[in-house]
Amino acid sequence: MGQVYAIEPFVTLPNAAGKVEDGDEITIFRLVKSRSLKNPYARELLKHIEDDFRTLPFAERWLQGIVPKEHYGEAFKELLSSKALTYYPVFVEVSRKAVAQAEHTVLITKDGCEVLT
């Protein structure tokens, strides 16, 4: 009770392999642990992530405008190299056929479940 689950079904074409694998593109990240950072812009990004997302996954594009554009790349790189963040590659179908994906997030309650999405 009180647990939250993400249900993420994938569908593809009948002539596809029917399996997904990690692709090369990475756009989703998650806070793993707060770290001591040297770069003040990295610290600012980390604070924003801690305050706004906590340990929930987030898209990198949601961080645009938090720190000056000219300092963003270096700051984000420090978050990754310090292992403050982990990342999730975009899934691709192994035969490279089209894939559609949806998601529902559900909260398990004492009376059943509540769909949060």
**pTM score > 0.85 for this model?**
no
Residue ranges covered by each domain of the chain: 4-115
Q: Which SS3 state, helix, strand or coil, does residue 36 take?
A: coil
Class assignment of domain 4-115? mainly alpha
Residue whose C-alpha is closest to residue 104's, from 116, 114, 112: 116
Neighbours of 20 (CB within 10 A): 16
Question: How much is the pLDDT for 117?
Answer: 87
The whole-number mean pLDDT for each consecutive block of 10 residues of the chain, a chain of 117 residues, reads 88 91 94 97 98 95 97 98 96 89 92 92
Question: How much is the pLDDT for 63?
Answer: 97
